[in-house]
Amino acid sequence: DPLLHQCMPSDLAAYTGMDALTHAVEAIASRLCVQSAYGPGLWAITEIFGNLRQSAMNRNNDKAIEQMVWAEMAAAYSFNSAGLGIVHSMAHVLGGRYDAPHGLCNAIGLVDVCRYNLGGCPERFKMMAEAAHIDTTGLSTYKAGEKFIDAIEALRHELGIRKNFKDLGMQAKDLEVCAKGVLNDICTEGNPQDVSMQDAKNMF
């Protein structure tokens, strides 16, 4: 119901939208390559890039809010088919330790994890760039993927999400246990790139 969505404060609307974007990105990038995830996931990316800014920043923009509700549902269809990846594994660990909003954890982790995963499926990152209406003319598949990840980072900053994991309360002494949590999380199985203990620490 868009009216329920409209009652959320702007920051929570931004976190929720970034969570949905993470659902779509991780499902499309999943090593399971579930093609039925691509349609709803790519459509969700189009709608999120087209509406999240207005949905979060103008809580009276009924049309943007309604489109975000549809996009969030479509992204859920996508990851229900294909699973997720280590952005969600990280968010699950953090939300269980620091009382940090799930969508905020995803927003913080998404860019660095995408950069890590790009080499595993650059053609799918290019698909996502095109879904976000990013001009990829003349770019290699890899460069198109990089441009999409840059757009995610820009979107996050435009929404005012500039925190990092340290801001959530994470300390160096927590790295070991958090990295173990990532390796043991079921979402890690869908990540397009293999993840070692050190890789997980580096992400945090």
Q: pLDDT at residue 6 above 90?
A: no
For residues 95 and 105, what is the distance between their CA atoms, to the nearest angstrom?
A: 8
Task: Tell me how crowded residue 38 is: count the other CB atoms within 10 A of its CB.
Answer: 20
Condensed to tens digits (0 to 9), the pLDDT of residues 57-72 reads: 998 999 999 999 999 9
pTM of the model: 0.96
Query: For residue range 183-201, what is the model confidence (pLDDT) as tens digits?
Result: 999 999 999 999 999 999 9
